[in-house]
Chain A
């Protein structure tokens, strides 16, 4: 009887893992992606349900209560939140996964502290899970605006961080060495603290890398928990966790590297350099920033053959995507070709701009990646930069600039560049933007939504 139940449960786990892989595979095309997540969702549901029937389990009431609280809470929260809050939601739910992995490791250590190998894997899972939840929560608070989004730099940061990590891991090793659980409390406290300290000095514009990396870390933590579980009485759940966790670890690592590469910085540089906390000095830029009126911009765009729109985080903050769609539709109705230039790290999470423009109903075949569109700028009459700064800064081509080498959108090569910007401030990197001083560049000051709204009104009147 028990064999029959266990075999069925195992078979379900195998199918679930297969569907997860197919679901991830479906993510490589916008046509199949939605089907993929639905299938993966069904597989997950069945995997969770059959786990209840595992032989030897007890505490069913508590389990059901926990699933109900977490499940309904997560479901409700993810339903009601606005699309613009997606980056922090991804960070939050990722943190929950890391926290669950750390908690599972803690239970494993409390219940079966006996074998150095198994418990060592639990300790490793606890380390990574704790860093992931604490770091993700800080990322969440920064993205939500409850903590300042710029780099928060504490004195003697590097030294303190390393010390906290080493001592924290030391407590984990002590647990294994002495087989005594008293070390676990300081162990978890210090690792959580390390996650906080690691993330505080990272500024908002580096969040795409951070979110992708913590996602990968949670995957690794889940896989490590799985390793520790395969020796236990219900080891097959462990295999499912090893596979799913490793899949996420691999895909998350790849995405992290892609994001870092898009900024021409190493992942280490993103995490340890407190980028953006210092400002570049001593570089004089010739020219001046020239303001322009919305009506002039409207006229310029109306007679253009092609307009390229380059959005950035400013569009997300002002929630201007709906107005941008209106502007694009209006221009197209007047026979102007409109395209969108998307930098991989524009915004606060990988693919952030794509999601916002899709929300506004802009077809994704009008969105172009940096590599696809850079060649088109010299033949473009007007480029409209909406709330983007560092990703269009030609300082990236200047040796000695902190941005040097970062692949950018070469908008300066267009005949006219209009930059919508709230004020004269610098970008996240704290670097003057040479672009704003070029002869072919004009500034349309204002909140992105208001400014694009003015353009729409002006175009309608003409």
Chain B
């Protein structure tokens, strides 16, 4: 049982270094999309919300689980759309009047 938590800890340790290395050279230009994009990625919390609500057995758990799902879903879609909109503006090919 506790072994699962140790496994998760090993995974988290590696994920931390991956996260750090992967974005350590991001230019200032992309700070906003990076932040917004990582904002979208923690929207994976929706999966946890679905599991929590799906396994809920009484009204209190269902009510709070429902809140988790609504908020998680907002996080996912809102985070995605905001990031997409910001990056669309950096897309040179679709911008009128930009230098080729």
Contacts and interface: CB of A to CB of B under 8 A. Distances in A.
A and B, one complex?
yes
A381 to B, nearest CB: 23
Interface string B81-100: 11111111111100111110
Contacts of B33: 27, 33, 37, 351
Contacts, number: 393
Interface in A226-268: 226-227, 229-235, 237-252, 254-255, 258
A223 B98 contact: no
A411 B91 CA distance: 30
Contacts of B68: 99-100, 103-104, 107
Interface residues of B, number: 88
A170 B99 CA distance: 59
A349 interface: yes
Interface string A324-343: 00000100000000000010
Given A40-B37, A59-B54, A241-B47, A251 B27 contact: no
Contact of A78 (B2, B45, B66, B81): B81
Contacts of A111: 55-57, 61
Given A24-B38, A117-B2, A66 B28 contact: no
Interface in A348-389: 349-352, 354-355, 358-359, 361, 363-365, 367, 369
Contacts of A121: 5
A52 B49 CA distance: 11
Contact of B50 (A25, A37, A52, A251): A52
A164 B18 CA distance: 35
Contacts of A222: 42, 44-45, 48
Nearest to A16: B44
A247 B15 contact: yes
Q: Among A97, A219, A227, A359, which residue has the most Cβ atoms of chain B within 10 A?
A: A97
A354 B37 CA distance: 16
Nearest to B97: A361
Contacts of A291: none
A54 B88 CA distance: 35
Contacts of B32: 86, 90, 349-352, 354-355
Contact of B48 (A16, A21, A229, A247): A229
A196 B74 CA distance: 21
A79 B34 CA distance: 19
Contact of B46 (A48, A251, A355): A48
Contacts of B77: 70-72, 74-75, 78
Contacts of A44: 40-41, 43-44, 76, 80
Contact of B83 (A37, A83, A241): A37
B23 A66 contact: no
B65 A107 contact: yes
Contacts of A118: 5
Nearest to B98: A363
A430 interface: no
- List the 4 shortest-distance A-B pairs measured between CB atoms, nearest first: A70-B73, A250-B19, A57-B54, A66-B69
9 contacts: A33-B33, A97-B42, A97-B71, A230-B7, A247-B22, A255-B31, A349-B32, A367-B29, A369-B27
Given A57-B50, A66-B53, A96-B72, 15 more contacts: A23-B41, A37-B87, A44-B41, A59-B65, A70-B69, A78-B80, A78-B81, A83-B85, A100-B68, A103-B49, A215-B39, A219-B42, A225-B45, A234-B55, A364-B90
